[in-house]
DNA sequence: GACTCTCGTTACCGCAAGTAACAAAGTTCT
DNA sequence: AGAACTTTGTTACTTGCGGTAACGAGAGTC
């Protein structure tokens, strides 16, 4: 049959692509985001031009890698986000899921946050807004959706949910990044502290000495 | 006097350094963070080796640039942070100062967030924790200090203030980044939304339909 | 006048991204 | 079977960047 023939080809191409991605993954995890295309090709047992035929350029390869990992993390987060528990517990579960993921393999996490290097050879006009890690954007949008569909925020809910989605994700990310570097406390403590912040403890706390506190 | 001679030399060297930094600034603002050393040298009217004599390597130059801008931004933020007003107003003023700064020239902002590229030629062992933008770390620490010295947080104030410092800075950064890209609302609206989030409105809001809300 | 020290140059090395040109294998059409 | 084509892979090249070595010229110093 002709269909089997074409399907075989396509399946073979896809399998090859997955193999290449896995090799690239190994190299990036070992050598960091600056791994060379030669190194990746060598790890995969082939040479550069094949990589370029499959992924176009280095950006394409890295994007494919990032999508893989981002999808995996997003699945885990969605599960925590959709659990049938009280809001605070769910927030804590989501925070903990994220932190556990970046704790489990920081290399992946690091790679996801610095995917865009670009030879900069291109046009000088760069648009701010596309530069930062796409993972954070996706997370922010995802969280925004969940917030808007679940929480009653009054008339401005569309705007508020998005601001909060991105804001909370950024909070989680920055705190997690700092925590990974310094390890000043347990994961559970960090989760509780962040949830406390989101629960308005900053506003509720009293001033320390004289004058108006922060 | 010998001192005048040496002072003249030192002053000349420092002036030269400042000139070079300003040239580098212009190029980086024009071409983005991937600007080449050749381009920077050309803009300064000289050639590469001089840059290397002054700054060691590209990282040194970029670090010097980053310190300049970071200091400037930090000064502005400290002013907002130290104003003699109520806590909420101060938080809003700080948020607004930061957002106004990144709105005023996004190129600088973008450069500050992606300073560490590294040829990756070096050792494979990379330490997570040093990779992210140093600006965010400095901001987080600064804010943590202010929080701890002004707000009464009970026994765990040392930990809480640092978690919150980095978390709030991350929130501000991520929300600002998204906002810069999409411009979904005015700066004032964004500031209010973020302050509302910090003031516990997420915890206070009711569920939307049936079941436990987010 | 020789000595040195700073500022500057040109010319080069190494390396990585990306590409062109070619080689060998299987597939398909006649 | 044999010619044409697509797939899969190669080697060898170009371009451009970070970084450095080696050299050149002017200004103070003994």
pLDDT at A51: 95
In terms of pLDDT, which residue wins out, B108 or A55? A55
- Is the confidence at residue A113, as pLDDT, over 60? yes
**CA B33 to centroid of chain Cα atoms:** 15
A153-193 pLDDT, tens digit per residue, is 999 999 999 999 999 999 999 999 999 999 999 999 999 99
pLDDT at A115: 60
Give the least confident one: A78-82, A135-139, A148-152, A202-206.
A202-206
DSSP string computed for chain B: -HHHHHHHHHHHHHHHHHHHHHHHHHHHHHH-TT--HHHHHHHHTS-HHHHHHHHSSHHHHHHHHHHHHHHHHHHHHHHHHT-SS-HHHHHHHHHHHHHHHHHH-HHHHHHHHS-------S-S---TTSSS-HHHHHHHHHHHHHHHHHEE--TTHHHHHHHHHHHHHHHHHHHHHHHHHH--S-HHHHHHHHHHHHTTHHHHSEE-SSS---
Domain boundaries, chain A: 10-56, 66-116+132-202
CATH topology (fold) of B68-117+127-202: Tetracycline Repressor; domain 2 (1.10.357)
* CA nearest to A28, candidates A18, A40, A20, A19: A40
CA dist., res. A92 & res. A115, Å (int)? 28
Give the least confident one: A91-95, B22-26, B77-81, B111-115.
B111-115
pLDDT at B120: 38
- Is the confidence at residue A74, as pLDDT, over 60? yes
In terms of pLDDT, which residue wins out, A7 or B43? B43
Answer yes or no: do A178 and B140 touch at CB < 8 A. Answer: yes
* Distance of C1' in C24 from CA in A3, Å: 26
pLDDT at B129: 33
CA dist., res. A124 & res. A126, Å (int)? 6
Q: How far is A39 from chain B (nearest CA, A)?
A: 12
Residues of chain A neighbouring B140 (CB-CB closer than 8 A): 174, 178
Measuring alpha carbon to C1', the residue closest to nucleotide D6 is A9
* Distance of C1' in D30 from CA in B49, Å: 31
Chain A, chain B: beta-carbon pairs less than 8 Å apart: 259
pLDDT at A212: 52
In terms of pLDDT, which residue wins out, A101 or B119? A101
Confidence of residue B207 (pLDDT cuts 50, 70, 90): confident
For A33-46, what is the mean pLDDT?
93
Q: Is the dihedral of CA B120, B125, B128, B129 positive or negative?
A: negative
Structure tokens at B137: 């770390």
**What percent of chain A is modeled with pLDDT above 70?**
83
CATH topology (fold) of B9-56: Arc Repressor Mutant, subunit A (1.10.10)
Looking at every residue in chain B, the average pLDDT score rounds to 85
CATH topology (fold) of A10-56: Arc Repressor Mutant, subunit A (1.10.10)
Q: Domain A66-116+132-202 carries which CATH code? A: 1.10.357
- Is the confidence at residue A24, as pLDDT, over 60? yes
B3-62 pLDDT, tens digit per residue, is 443 455 666 778 889 999 999 999 998 888 889 999 999 999 999 999 999 999 999 999
Q: How far is A157 from chain B (nearest CA, A)?
A: 10
CA dist., res. B88 & res. B57, Å (int)? 44
Task: Output Rg (C-alpha) for chain A, integer angstroms.
Answer: 21
B57-82 pLDDT, tens digit per residue, is 999 999 999 999 999 999 999 999 98
Answer yes or no: do B110 and A124 touch at CB < 8 A. Answer: no
* Distance of C1' in D1 from CA in A12, Å: 29
CA dist., res. A78 & res. A145, Å (int)? 11
* Of residues B85, B127, B173, nearest to A174 (C-beta): B173
């Amino acid at each position: 049959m002709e269909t089997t023939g074409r399907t075989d080809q396509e399946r073979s191409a896809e399998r090859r692509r997955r193999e290449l991605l896995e090799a690239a993954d190994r190299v990036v995890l070992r050598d960091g985001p600056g791994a060379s295309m030669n190194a990746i090709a060598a790890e995969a047992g082939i040479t550069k031009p094949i990589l370029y035929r499959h992924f176009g350029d280095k950006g394409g390869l890295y994007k494919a890698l990032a999508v893989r990992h981002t999808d995996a993390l997003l699945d885990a987060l969605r599960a925590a986000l959709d659990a049938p528990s009280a809001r605070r517990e769910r927030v804590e579960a989501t925070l903990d899921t994220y932190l556990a993921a970046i704790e489990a393999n920081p290399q992946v996490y690091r790679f996801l946050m610095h995917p865009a290097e670009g030879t900069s050879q291109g046009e000088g006009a760069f648009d701010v807004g596309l530069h930062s890690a796409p993972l954070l954007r996706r997370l922010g949008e995802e969280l925004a959706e969940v917030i808007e569909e679940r929480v009653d925020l009054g008339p401005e809910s569309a705007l508020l949910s998005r601001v909060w989605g991105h804001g909370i994700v950024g909070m989680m990310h920055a705190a997690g990044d700092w925590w990974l570097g310094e390890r000043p406390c347990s994961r559970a403590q960090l989760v509780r502290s962040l949830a406390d912040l989101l629960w308005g403890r900053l506003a509720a706390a009293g001033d320390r000495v004289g004058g108006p506190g922060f």
